[in-house]
Structure 1
Amino acid sequence: MSLEAVKDYFKQWDKEEDIIELELSSATVELAAAALHVEPEKIAKTLAFRGIDSEYGILIVAAGDAKIDNKKFRHTFGMKARMLSPEETLEQTGHAVGGVCPFGLAHPLPVFMDISLKRFDKVYPACGSSTSAIGLSIEELYEYGKGKEWVDVCKGWEDGEEN
């Protein structure tokens, strides 16, 4: 159902046919990179965290080689980085872990894009299932993912190559 919600979501831009349906799982960065034949850092992973209010969370989209930096997260959002459980993630996004993306969300969650993505021309986020993805430019990812703003909340990617 979640893949269908994302396909419906992308119809507004005539991009639903651009979704790649894979035979292999793309549930982790490594699996997605292997299935798509791209470097792991070009996988745009979406992470779900508890939000400022207790009802809904926030989403952070980051490069595949980036890791959340707790100090930067706390400085940016004024709270500790606490990920949602798999059940909470499914309930809030409409997507199961392994297919979480900022598209076709069950609830309008704020989406923040980490600057670790800006070094690439094209990245590959999931599309609501553990066997789907789409190749998007950074500008498209921000637009289609309804990015609220660019943030710097990750570490571990700074030594990666550009493009």
Structure 2
Amino acid sequence: MARGTPATQVLTKAGISFGLVEYDYDPGGERVGLQAAEAMQMDPARVFKTLMIEVDGKACCAVLPSDAEVDMKAMAALCEGKSARMIRPETAERMTGYKVGGISPLGQRKPVPCILEDAARLHDTIFVNGGRRGLQIEIAPRDLVNVLGCRFARFAR
């Protein structure tokens, strides 16, 4: 299976060290991040999910542990808005160029502001989606912040 995705291409071009882990993606799984953590036999707190969120009509990207949920009020405040909600899956796919279950914060078709949950600082490396279902990128949180031009913040519960 080819491993190159827009996400891995961004990291390669930036000269950032990363690892790749493939796993058996379950298309019937309800919680993709938790399913990925289980399939890779990793702590769910190290396997981060990518959620596309709309704050007052503007898209943003939230990256948080797979065993956590977004505090929408906190996300709205972080994005200087009043209300936040999840973007519909088909809209997220169109915006990012990735399929749901494979959305990466890296290499999105239309880059949007991104926030990485502060809990990432607890780990030397974390896993984020690699831009394809069944592919995870292992990366240092600081490297992810640097390449995305994003920031750490607390918004998960």
Distance 1:17 1:58 in 2: 24
Distance 1:106 1:59, change over 3 A: same
Tell me the amino acid that sits aligned with residue 41 of structure 2.
H
SS of 1:35's equivalent? Answer: helix
Unaligned 5+ segments in structure 1 are 156-163
TM-score, length-scaled by structure 2: 0.83
User: Offset at 1:6?
Assistant: 2.2
Distance 1:104 1:74 in 2: 24
Contact 1:93 1:106 in 2 (8 A): yes
Distance 1:141 1:26, change over 3 A: farther
Distance 2:71 2:146 in 1: 25
Distance 1:37 1:80, change over 3 A: same
Matched residue, 1:5? 6
Superposition map of 1:1-163 within 5 A: 4-14=5-15, 18-22=19-23, 24-25=24-25, 28-52=32-56, 54=57, 56-77=58-79, 78-144=81-147, 146-155=148-157
Distance 2:109 2:128 in 1: 17
Distance 1:105 1:51 in 2: 18
Unaligned 5+ segments in structure 2 are none
SS of 1:58's equivalent? Answer: strand
User: Offset at 1:2?
Assistant: 10
Q: How many residue pairs are counted as aligned between the two chains?
A: 151
Distance 2:5 2:78 in 1: 34
User: Offset at 1:75?
Assistant: 3.0
Distance 1:25 1:68, change over 3 A: same
User: Over the residues paired in the alignment, what is the CA RMSD in angstroms?
Assistant: 2.5
User: Offset at 1:70?
Assistant: 2.8
SS of 2:42's equivalent? Answer: coil
Tell me the amino acid that sits aligned with residue 31 of structure 1.
Q
User: Offset at 1:61?
Assistant: 0.7
Tell me the amino acid that sits aligned with residue 4 of structure 1.
T
Distance 1:2 1:112 in 2: 25
Distance 1:97 1:81, change over 3 A: same
User: Offset at 1:71?
Assistant: 3.0
Tell me the amino acid that sits aligned with residue 33 of structure 1.
A
Distance 1:108 1:141 in 2: 14
Contact 2:34 2:67 in 1 (8 A): no
